[in-house]
Amino acid sequence: MNFEKVTLKAIEILDRINIPYFVTGALAVVYYGEPRTTHDIDLVVEIKEKNIDTLVKNFKKEFFIDEISITTAIQENSMFNIVHKDTGFKVDFWMLGEDNFSKERFARRTQVKILNTKIYLPTPEDVIIKKLEWYKMSDIDKHYFDAVGVYRIQKEKLDNNYIISWCRHKSVLNIWEKMQKERLVTSLKQLKPILKGAKIKFSVESFTPPMEKTEASMDLLSEVKKIASSLDMKLETGKAGGGSDASIASSLGIPTLDGLGPDGEGIHADNEHLILSSLIERTALLTEILIRL
């Protein structure tokens, strides 16, 4: 029995005993993205303690399976694995997470046909989001290139707004935007002039990410507004061009506010100037922020 058949055997048993699941990890990446070798079998499952006896009874004939490890995985919301007796292939079972993304990802799972068998997979959008999250946590390039591969193949079908929303929530929007910039640069490099003798040249001037609203930064802003109010100051939010180190900090998930310096006008223009009277009140505000926070 080969790797694929071991996977399908595990899925067949789960279907038979009505355990909800989807196949994740490398197999989902290969299905949606670019081929690569793997012997990893990862399943996200929704198992309750009442299912343990049935699970063990149905898997124990062909797999090594341990009841204690299953119980621990359920209690700790972690994972356990089983091993196929004839081949030694390992199947990892990851408990369904309790966070909103895990629940939504599971609810969105889709059924596809592989080797004449219907199986459940996460959507390509959710594969990309999860891979970007793994890349952020581990800094292992494989996860980033997996996400790039899925995007490259599925880009015409993807719900980009859904991806952006969850990337912002998980503070990986900067990595998603890095993917988009690299895709744009690649496309520019592939441009060919149609006029004889013409050449195309371009340069990338900045890779500073735009400063996006994050939940952490909005919470910080709420606290700072309260401090400003206590000083009889009204703090307004706005938009400005350019880039700063605040954009980088914010993209990493760090609570960040920009533009708390003195008021002024004519930003990045010939008449750019500060309003001197605002220096005192802004200094007072920054002092109170440092004291209270």
Q: At which of 122, 145, 180 does a domain end? A: 122
CATH code: domain of residue 79: 3.30.460.40
Q: What is the pLDDT along the chain (293 residues), one digit of tens a residue?
A: 687 889 999 999 999 999 999 999 889 999 999 887 777 899 999 999 999 999 999 999 999 999 999 999 999 999 999 999 999 999 999 999 999 999 999 999 999 998 888 999 999 999 999 999 999 999 899 999 999 999 999 999 999 999 999 998 898 988 998 899 898 888 888 899 999 899 988 887 766 667 777 788 888 989 999 998 998 888 888 766 556 778 778 777 788 888 888 888 877 778 888 888 888 888 988 999 999 98
Q: Is residue 243 part of a domain?
A: yes
- 3-class DSSP state for residue 83? strand
Q: At which of 122, 138, 161 does a domain end? A: 122
Q: At which of 93, 122, 151 does a domain end? A: 122
Separation of alpha carbons 8 and 189, rounded Å: 42
Segments forming the whole domain that contains residue 266: 215-292
Going by the DSSP 8-state scheme, the letter that residue 269 receives in this structure is: S
Q: Is residue 203 part of a domain?
A: no
Going by the DSSP 8-state scheme, the letter that residue 50 receives in this structure is: G
Beta bridge partners of 111: 120
pLDDT in tens, 211-247: 777 788 888 989 999 998 998 888 888 766 556 778 7
CATH code: domain of residue 251: 1.10.150.900
pTM: 0.73
Backbone φ and ψ of 178, nearest 5°? -60, -40
Q: Is residue 178 part of a domain?
A: no
Q: Is residue 109 part of a domain?
A: yes
Q: Is residue 259 part of a domain?
A: yes
Q: Is residue 114 part of a domain?
A: yes
Which pair of structure tokens corresponds to residue 198? 């013409």
Residue among 261, 167, 179, 270 nearest 214 (CA): 167
> What's the structural domain count of the chain?
2
